[in-house]
Amino acid sequence: MDQRLADLLQLLELEQLEVNLFRGASRDIGAPQVFGGQVLGQALTAAAATVEGRTVHSLHAYFLRRGDCNAPIVYEVDRSLDGHSFANRRIVAIQHGQQIFNMTASFQIAEAGFDHQVPMPQVPAPESLPDQSGRPPQELLVRLPERVRRFLEQPRPFEFRTVQPLDLLRPRRERPAREIWFRAVGALPDDETLHRRLLAYVSDFFLLDTATLPHGTSFLNPSLVMASIDHAMWFHRPLRVDDWLLYAMESPSASGARGFARAGVFARDGRLVASTAQEGLVRTRKEA
Protein backbone atom coordinates (compact mmCIF):
# COMPACT_ATOMS: atom_id res chain seq x y z
CA MET A 1 0.00 0.00 0.00
CA ASP A 2 1.16 3.54 -0.73
CA GLN A 3 2.80 4.91 2.43
CA ARG A 4 0.73 8.12 2.36
CA LEU A 5 -2.46 6.08 2.44
CA ALA A 6 -1.12 3.66 5.05
CA ASP A 7 -0.28 6.63 7.30
CA LEU A 8 -3.82 7.98 6.95
CA LEU A 9 -5.39 4.61 7.80
CA GLN A 10 -3.21 4.43 10.89
CA LEU A 11 -4.22 7.98 11.87
CA LEU A 12 -7.92 7.06 11.72
CA GLU A 13 -7.44 4.05 14.01
CA LEU A 14 -8.05 4.69 17.71
CA GLU A 15 -6.87 3.22 21.00
CA GLN A 16 -9.77 2.02 23.14
CA LEU A 17 -9.35 3.29 26.71
CA GLU A 18 -12.69 2.13 28.14
CA VAL A 19 -16.01 0.78 26.88
CA ASN A 20 -17.06 4.09 25.28
CA LEU A 21 -13.77 5.99 25.45
CA PHE A 22 -11.15 6.20 22.69
CA ARG A 23 -7.94 8.11 21.99
CA GLY A 24 -6.48 9.17 18.65
CA ALA A 25 -3.24 10.78 17.55
CA SER A 26 -3.10 14.21 15.93
CA ARG A 27 -1.35 15.05 12.68
CA ASP A 28 0.12 18.34 11.50
CA ILE A 29 -0.71 18.80 7.81
CA GLY A 30 0.55 22.37 7.69
CA ALA A 31 -2.65 24.06 8.87
CA PRO A 32 -2.72 26.24 12.02
CA GLN A 33 -4.93 23.65 13.76
CA VAL A 34 -5.88 19.98 13.52
CA PHE A 35 -7.45 19.31 10.12
CA GLY A 36 -11.22 19.06 10.48
CA GLY A 37 -11.40 15.97 8.29
CA GLN A 38 -9.12 14.13 10.72
CA VAL A 39 -11.51 14.78 13.61
CA LEU A 40 -14.52 13.81 11.50
CA GLY A 41 -12.89 10.54 10.47
CA GLN A 42 -11.68 9.65 13.96
CA ALA A 43 -15.03 10.49 15.55
CA LEU A 44 -16.75 8.22 13.03
CA THR A 45 -14.25 5.48 13.90
CA ALA A 46 -15.15 5.84 17.58
CA ALA A 47 -18.89 5.75 16.91
CA ALA A 48 -18.67 2.77 14.53
CA ALA A 49 -16.71 0.79 17.13
CA THR A 50 -19.83 0.80 19.33
CA VAL A 51 -22.30 -0.30 16.62
CA GLU A 52 -22.86 -3.76 15.13
CA GLY A 53 -24.74 -4.76 11.98
CA ARG A 54 -25.43 -1.19 10.82
CA THR A 55 -23.65 1.29 8.56
CA VAL A 56 -23.45 5.04 9.07
CA HIS A 57 -25.91 6.96 6.87
CA SER A 58 -25.58 10.49 8.27
CA LEU A 59 -23.53 12.67 10.59
CA HIS A 60 -23.87 16.21 11.92
CA ALA A 61 -20.86 17.84 13.57
CA TYR A 62 -19.77 21.12 15.17
CA PHE A 63 -16.20 22.39 15.45
CA LEU A 64 -16.04 24.21 18.78
CA ARG A 65 -12.35 25.03 19.32
CA ARG A 66 -9.11 24.72 17.38
CA GLY A 67 -7.46 21.35 17.81
CA ASP A 68 -3.84 21.14 18.96
CA CYS A 69 -1.70 19.21 16.44
CA ASN A 70 0.77 18.30 19.20
CA ALA A 71 -1.68 16.56 21.55
CA PRO A 72 -3.86 13.43 21.29
CA ILE A 73 -7.65 13.69 21.13
CA VAL A 74 -9.98 11.72 23.41
CA TYR A 75 -13.36 10.66 22.00
CA GLU A 76 -16.27 9.91 24.34
CA VAL A 77 -19.23 8.05 22.80
CA ASP A 78 -22.78 8.20 24.14
CA ARG A 79 -24.97 5.28 22.99
CA SER A 80 -28.11 7.35 22.50
CA LEU A 81 -30.17 4.70 20.71
CA ASP A 82 -30.00 1.05 19.68
CA GLY A 83 -33.27 0.49 17.84
CA HIS A 84 -34.58 -2.18 15.51
CA SER A 85 -33.38 -0.46 12.31
CA PHE A 86 -31.33 2.50 13.51
CA ALA A 87 -28.63 3.26 16.05
CA ASN A 88 -27.64 6.76 17.12
CA ARG A 89 -24.39 7.91 18.73
CA ARG A 90 -23.19 11.23 20.13
CA ILE A 91 -19.43 11.73 20.10
CA VAL A 92 -17.50 14.41 22.00
CA ALA A 93 -13.84 15.13 21.20
CA ILE A 94 -11.75 16.45 24.09
CA GLN A 95 -8.31 18.05 24.25
CA HIS A 96 -6.66 19.66 27.29
CA GLY A 97 -9.85 19.12 29.29
CA GLN A 98 -12.10 21.01 26.84
CA GLN A 99 -14.54 19.97 24.15
CA ILE A 100 -13.16 20.87 20.72
CA PHE A 101 -15.81 19.07 18.65
CA ASN A 102 -19.06 17.16 18.94
CA MET A 103 -20.95 15.01 16.47
CA THR A 104 -24.10 12.94 16.17
CA ALA A 105 -24.04 9.97 13.81
CA SER A 106 -26.88 7.68 12.75
CA PHE A 107 -26.45 4.07 11.59
CA GLN A 108 -28.96 1.86 9.75
CA ILE A 109 -29.34 -1.77 8.78
CA ALA A 110 -29.41 -2.41 5.00
CA GLU A 111 -32.95 -1.96 3.64
CA ALA A 112 -34.59 -1.65 0.20
CA GLY A 113 -36.86 1.28 -0.66
CA PHE A 114 -37.64 4.06 -3.15
CA ASP A 115 -34.67 5.04 -5.28
CA HIS A 116 -34.10 8.24 -7.27
CA GLN A 117 -31.39 10.89 -7.60
CA VAL A 118 -30.38 14.04 -9.45
CA PRO A 119 -28.10 13.54 -12.48
CA MET A 120 -24.34 13.96 -12.22
CA PRO A 121 -22.99 17.19 -13.76
CA GLN A 122 -21.55 16.87 -17.25
CA VAL A 123 -17.81 17.39 -16.75
CA PRO A 124 -14.58 16.22 -18.43
CA ALA A 125 -13.25 12.80 -17.40
CA PRO A 126 -10.55 12.90 -14.71
CA GLU A 127 -7.96 11.41 -17.08
CA SER A 128 -8.25 14.51 -19.28
CA LEU A 129 -7.41 16.89 -16.41
CA PRO A 130 -4.01 17.66 -14.84
CA ASP A 131 -3.13 16.09 -11.49
CA GLN A 132 -2.91 18.92 -8.93
CA SER A 133 -2.16 16.87 -5.84
CA GLY A 134 1.64 16.89 -6.19
CA ARG A 135 4.14 19.42 -4.90
CA PRO A 136 3.49 22.83 -6.51
CA PRO A 137 6.18 24.31 -8.77
CA GLN A 138 9.07 25.98 -6.94
CA GLU A 139 8.38 29.32 -8.67
CA LEU A 140 4.95 29.30 -7.01
CA LEU A 141 6.15 28.15 -3.59
CA VAL A 142 8.72 30.96 -3.24
CA ARG A 143 5.93 33.51 -3.65
CA LEU A 144 3.80 32.06 -0.86
CA PRO A 145 3.84 32.71 2.90
CA GLU A 146 5.63 30.05 4.98
CA ARG A 147 2.39 28.72 6.52
CA VAL A 148 0.91 28.16 3.06
CA ARG A 149 4.09 26.56 1.67
CA ARG A 150 4.09 24.08 4.54
CA PHE A 151 0.47 23.13 3.85
CA LEU A 152 0.97 22.69 0.09
CA GLU A 153 4.19 20.69 0.48
CA GLN A 154 2.60 17.99 2.64
CA PRO A 155 2.25 14.57 0.95
CA ARG A 156 -1.43 13.86 0.23
CA PRO A 157 -3.14 10.45 0.45
CA PHE A 158 -5.60 11.65 -2.23
CA GLU A 159 -5.11 12.96 -5.74
CA PHE A 160 -7.24 15.85 -6.97
CA ARG A 161 -8.14 16.99 -10.48
CA THR A 162 -10.08 20.24 -10.74
CA VAL A 163 -12.53 20.82 -13.58
CA GLN A 164 -12.18 24.62 -13.35
CA PRO A 165 -8.61 26.02 -13.46
CA LEU A 166 -7.34 27.40 -10.15
CA ASP A 167 -5.23 30.55 -9.89
CA LEU A 168 -4.71 31.07 -6.17
CA LEU A 169 -2.32 34.00 -6.65
CA ARG A 170 -4.64 35.94 -8.96
CA PRO A 171 -8.18 34.86 -8.04
CA ARG A 172 -11.04 36.28 -10.09
CA ARG A 173 -14.69 36.73 -9.23
CA GLU A 174 -16.43 33.56 -10.36
CA ARG A 175 -19.74 31.81 -9.95
CA PRO A 176 -19.98 30.09 -6.54
CA ALA A 177 -19.60 26.55 -7.85
CA ARG A 178 -16.74 24.13 -8.54
CA GLU A 179 -16.25 20.46 -9.45
CA ILE A 180 -13.24 18.42 -8.41
CA TRP A 181 -12.43 14.76 -9.10
CA PHE A 182 -10.62 12.91 -6.32
CA ARG A 183 -9.56 9.41 -5.31
CA ALA A 184 -7.21 7.70 -2.86
CA VAL A 185 -3.65 7.20 -4.14
CA GLY A 186 -3.87 3.40 -3.77
CA ALA A 187 -6.21 0.42 -3.56
CA LEU A 188 -8.17 -0.17 -0.35
CA PRO A 189 -9.92 -3.17 1.26
CA ASP A 190 -13.58 -3.94 0.54
CA ASP A 191 -14.90 -2.35 3.73
CA GLU A 192 -17.84 0.05 3.32
CA THR A 193 -17.33 1.56 6.77
CA LEU A 194 -13.67 2.30 5.97
CA HIS A 195 -14.59 4.00 2.69
CA ARG A 196 -17.18 6.17 4.43
CA ARG A 197 -14.68 7.17 7.13
CA LEU A 198 -12.20 8.16 4.43
CA LEU A 199 -14.86 10.12 2.56
CA ALA A 200 -15.63 12.01 5.78
CA TYR A 201 -11.91 12.85 6.02
CA VAL A 202 -11.51 14.15 2.47
CA SER A 203 -14.88 15.96 2.39
CA ASP A 204 -13.38 18.80 4.44
CA PHE A 205 -11.07 19.77 1.55
CA PHE A 206 -12.25 22.59 -0.79
CA LEU A 207 -15.86 22.81 0.42
CA LEU A 208 -15.78 26.09 2.35
CA ASP A 209 -13.43 27.64 -0.23
CA THR A 210 -16.39 27.64 -2.63
CA ALA A 211 -17.92 30.50 -0.62
CA THR A 212 -14.98 32.77 -1.56
CA LEU A 213 -15.31 32.35 -5.35
CA PRO A 214 -17.75 35.26 -6.02
CA HIS A 215 -15.50 37.62 -4.03
CA GLY A 216 -12.23 37.30 -5.93
CA THR A 217 -10.16 36.04 -3.01
CA SER A 218 -8.67 32.80 -1.73
CA PHE A 219 -7.22 31.26 1.43
CA LEU A 220 -3.83 32.74 0.39
CA ASN A 221 -5.11 36.21 1.26
CA PRO A 222 -3.44 36.96 4.64
CA SER A 223 -6.36 39.15 5.72
CA LEU A 224 -8.92 36.37 5.17
CA VAL A 225 -9.94 34.27 8.19
CA MET A 226 -11.65 30.95 7.45
CA ALA A 227 -12.66 28.18 9.85
CA SER A 228 -15.26 25.41 9.76
CA ILE A 229 -18.19 25.85 12.14
CA ASP A 230 -20.24 22.76 11.30
CA HIS A 231 -20.23 19.86 8.85
CA ALA A 232 -22.96 17.45 7.81
CA MET A 233 -22.91 14.36 5.60
CA TRP A 234 -25.47 11.93 4.24
CA PHE A 235 -24.33 8.63 2.71
CA HIS A 236 -26.80 7.48 0.07
CA ARG A 237 -25.24 4.50 -1.69
CA PRO A 238 -22.20 2.20 -1.47
CA LEU A 239 -18.99 3.94 -2.50
CA ARG A 240 -15.27 3.47 -3.01
CA VAL A 241 -12.79 6.26 -2.41
CA ASP A 242 -10.09 4.37 -4.33
CA ASP A 243 -12.06 4.98 -7.54
CA TRP A 244 -12.76 8.43 -8.98
CA LEU A 245 -15.44 10.47 -7.20
CA LEU A 246 -16.72 13.86 -8.35
CA TYR A 247 -17.15 16.55 -5.68
CA ALA A 248 -19.76 18.95 -7.14
CA MET A 249 -19.82 21.96 -4.81
CA GLU A 250 -21.83 25.17 -4.68
CA SER A 251 -22.21 28.04 -2.24
CA PRO A 252 -25.79 29.38 -2.22
CA SER A 253 -25.07 32.08 0.36
CA ALA A 254 -22.52 34.06 2.35
CA SER A 255 -23.63 36.55 5.00
CA GLY A 256 -22.93 37.62 8.57
CA ALA A 257 -19.22 36.67 8.29
CA ARG A 258 -20.29 33.08 7.47
CA GLY A 259 -20.12 31.15 4.23
CA PHE A 260 -22.37 28.22 3.41
CA ALA A 261 -21.55 25.46 0.92
CA ARG A 262 -23.14 22.17 -0.07
CA ALA A 263 -22.12 19.40 -2.43
CA GLY A 264 -23.01 16.12 -4.06
CA VAL A 265 -20.46 13.31 -4.33
CA PHE A 266 -20.90 11.23 -7.47
CA ALA A 267 -19.29 7.92 -8.42
CA ARG A 268 -17.69 7.56 -11.83
CA ASP A 269 -20.78 5.70 -13.07
CA GLY A 270 -23.06 8.65 -12.18
CA ARG A 271 -24.49 7.39 -8.87
CA LEU A 272 -24.99 10.02 -6.17
CA VAL A 273 -23.20 8.31 -3.27
CA ALA A 274 -23.18 11.12 -0.68
CA SER A 275 -24.12 14.72 0.05
CA THR A 276 -22.36 17.24 2.27
CA ALA A 277 -23.04 20.69 3.72
CA GLN A 278 -20.85 23.04 5.69
CA GLU A 279 -21.00 26.50 7.19
CA GLY A 280 -17.85 28.30 8.25
CA LEU A 281 -16.41 31.56 9.41
CA VAL A 282 -15.38 33.72 6.43
CA ARG A 283 -14.16 37.04 7.77
CA THR A 284 -11.73 39.74 6.66
CA ARG A 285 -9.39 40.99 9.37
CA LYS A 286 -9.87 44.64 10.18
CA GLU A 287 -6.90 46.96 9.84
CA ALA A 288 -5.22 47.70 13.19
Indicate the pLDDT class of residue 109, thresholds 50, 70 and 90.
Answer: very high
pLDDT in tens, 214-266: 998 877 777 888 889 999 999 999 999 999 999 999 999 999 999 999 999 99
pLDDT at residue 104 in the model: 98
Average pLDDT over residues 56-62: 98
**121, pLDDT greater than 80:** yes
pLDDT confidence band for 288 (50 / 70 / 90): very low
Q: What pLDDT score does 149 carry?
A: 65
Q: What is the pLDDT averaged over residues 117-140?
A: 83
User: Who has greater pLDDT, 99 or 218?
Assistant: 99
Domains of the chain: 3-109+131-284 (2.40.160.210)
Specify the pLDDT at position 165: 82
pTM of the model: 0.92
The residues that are catalytic are: 204, 228, 278
Mean pLDDT of the chain: 91
pLDDT tens per residue, range 135-191: 666 666 666 666 666 666 677 899 999 999 877 777 789 999 999 999 999 999 999
Angle at 31 between CA 141 and CA 245, to 5 degrees: 85
